[in-house]
Amino acid sequence: MMKFIIGAALTLSVPSATLPSVAHAATYNDKKETATLADKQVSVEYVSYANSTVIFRVNIDNPAGIQFRLVIKNDAGDVLYNGSYTDTHFEKAIHLIKEEEEISPVFIVRSGKQQIERSFRVTTATSGTEKVVVTKQ
């Protein structure tokens, strides 16, 4: 079983000078609803392992401020986390408590009909010292 802890977020907002005027709000919202995230805008990286906790950093560059969902599943397909965001620069540290020798978390970012996935396999071997191998799949 894999337990999940989400770390603190660093959120940067769009300066008010770049927001549309009231007269252009409808056009802005229409464009925002049809915008999508590109694969290169989503980054999930292994950070470290300590005390049976695997830490990943999730970064999403979302300059249009479109709504997206971050879903994290375990290797059995169970949803560990499901959150909705509109941050223009999203950054979170994800802490997964590793109770098994191998875990395979899947990070999914959904925006409209689009889905971007990042999969990993984390294995540990103990022979005097603990060795951790993280493989991006």
What domain range is 99 assigned to? 2-136
Cβ atoms of residues 59 and 78 within 8 Å: no
Q: How many domains does the chain have?
A: 1
Express each pLDDT in 46-93 by its tens digit. Answer: 999 888 899 999 999 999 999 999 999 998 999 999 999 999 999 999
What CATH code is carried by the domain that includes residue 87? 2.60.40
Task: Name the more confident of 10 and 128.
Answer: 128
Alpha-carbon distances of 49 from 22, 98, 122, rounded to whole Å? 48, 9, 10
Q: What is the pLDDT of residues 28-57, one digit of tens each?
A: 455 455 678 999 999 999 999 888 899 999
